[in-house]
Amino acid sequence: MTKTAFAFDLGNGYVKAMNSKREVIAPSMIARESAVGSSSIFNILKRSSNKGYEVFESQLDDNTKYVWGEGITEAVAPESLIATYTHNDRYTQKRFKLLCTFILAELASDFTDEELLDVVVVTGLPSQEIGTEDERKFKEFLQQKHVVTRNGEQRMINVTDVRIVEQPLGTLLKLYMNNEGQFHEELLTSTLTLLDFGAGTTIMDTFKNFKRLPEKSETFYEGMNDLHRTIAKELEKQHNIKGLDPAYVDEGFRRGDCIAEVSERKKYAFEVIAKRVIEDFVDKRLAEVDRTLTNRDSVDKFIITGGGVNIVKDYFLEAFKEANITVIQDSQRANLEGFYKLASLL
């Protein structure tokens, strides 16, 4: 019997997940089903025919129905959203485990019961957590029989094999491993420094011959969420308003119009503010990078990845001034693609 391959990248901001049939990108937030519909009428009207979430029930919490999916932030009011990500002991937290089982159930929904008897999962962790007790706990949790109900249909997913790698390694596998599992020469011989611009973190990881060089690697606990928050705060000051949710800034960036669209009537352009805030953010990260790296010349190639590339790339390239830099296209999905490549080889 062949194995069924699943891969996911559970970030501070977004879950990226993939099986052989499709890909899912959805916020790393869940909500109780009872919270649906408590959103403002504007949000309800804006909702398309596709509701943008599914309903889940897990063994971990038998009496509660939850919702999760790409449209969850539109369907549920911000105060009812349950963020799953913390830097503290997240592998033992129920909401984090719930989201993991929902991801598995979502990916499983494309397969028959039989195909779910032997599932292999590849995922990542922040690099400094690899080899720790946290990794062991996470793996132990994933590698078991999960029973999850999605939209009323209960499924059993038998996860028989779990591989956990450094999150940014996904990008390297995408770039330097072919579908037969062979590695490009460059991955084995060069010193490669990746910068992953995530929602909650900016990770710098340097790899040589698959080994992460800790003295040339560092995680900075600031990411695009902080940048969105700063911009939202500046908009509040400028327009004398209160409680502008940074999610509107995120959406404005993703649409590409740089407008925080709170409602049809309330729209705030942030392009000018953004330029300044982005420059400030990048300058700070560059100072940190140079502090850790002391000598950039020891690195053969730089690679920038993570969804934040879409936001910081122009100014980053201008300020970093290195010729040998690869800007990953479709950067938010890059780690996931590498994880999936690996999963499908197992």
Binding site for ligand ATP (CB under 6 A): 11-14, 196, 198-201, 223-224, 250, 253-254, 306-308, 310-311, 332
Residue with Cβ nearer ligand ATP (39 or 171): 171
Tokens describing residue 82 = 């349950």
In the complex with ligand ATP, which residue's Cβ is closer, 4 or 12?
12
Shortest Cβ 198–Mg ion spacing (Å): 4
Residue 250 touches which of ligand ATP, Mg ion, none (Cβ within 5-8 Å per kind)? ligand ATP
Q: Are 190 and 301 in contact (CB under 8 A)?
A: yes
> Does the footprint of Mg ion cover residue 223 (CB under 5 A)?
no
The answer to whether the beta carbons of residues 187 and 172 sit under 8 Å apart is yes
How does strand 4-10 pair with strand 119-125? parallel
Cβ 182 to Mg ion shortest distance, Å: 26
Instruction: Rule CB under 5 A: say whether 198 interacts with Mg ion.
Output: yes
Backbone torsions φ then ψ of 181, nearest 5 degrees:
90, 10
Q: Which is nearer to ligand ATP, 19 or 332 (CB)?
A: 332
Alpha carbon of 202 to those of 13, 223, 314: distances in Å? 12, 5, 17
Q: Which residue has the tokens 């982005």?
A: 278
Least distance (Å) between residue 94 CB and ligand ATP: 19
Nearest to 40 by CA among 83, 84, 79, 66: 79
**Spatial CA neighbour of 303 closest among 195, 191, 189:** 195
Listed ranges 137-145, 190-198, 236-244, 324-332: which one lies at the site for Mg ion (CB under 5 A): 190-198
Q: Which does 311 bind (CB under 5 to 8 A by kind): ligand ATP, Mg ion, none?
A: ligand ATP
Q: Per the structure block, which two tokens stand in for 172?
A: 């390297």
Beta strands, E only, 129-213: 145-150, 153-166, 191-197, 202-208, 211-212
**Interacting partner of 200 out of Mg ion, ligand ATP, none (Cβ under 5 to 8 A depending on kind):** ligand ATP
57 vs 308 by CB, closer to Mg ion = 308
Which of 8, 10, 11, 343 is in the footprint of Mg ion by CB under 5 A? 11
* CB nearer to Mg ion: pick between 111 and 340: 340
Residue 18 site contact among Mg ion, ligand ATP, none (CB < 5 to 8 Å, cut-off depends on kind)? none
Which of 37, 38, 40, 10 shows the shortest CA–CA distance to 24? 10
Rounded CA gap, 32 and 244, in Å? 23
Please, where are the H alpha helices in the chain? 41-46, 72-75, 94-108, 133-142, 169-176, 185-189, 224-239, 246-255, 271-293, 309-320, 334-345
CB 121 within 8 A of CB 7: yes
Task: Pick the closer one to ligand ATP by CB: 196 or 234.
Answer: 196
Nearer to ligand ATP, 148 or 203 (CB): 203
Segment lying near Mg ion (by CB under 5 A), choices 7-15, 25-33, 234-242, 248-256:
7-15
DSSP 302: E
Q: What residue 308 binds from ligand ATP, Mg ion, none (CB within 5 to 8 A, per partner kind)?
A: ligand ATP
User: Minimal distance in Å, beta carbon 304 to ligand ATP?
Assistant: 11
Residues that bind Mg ion (CB under 5 A): 11, 198
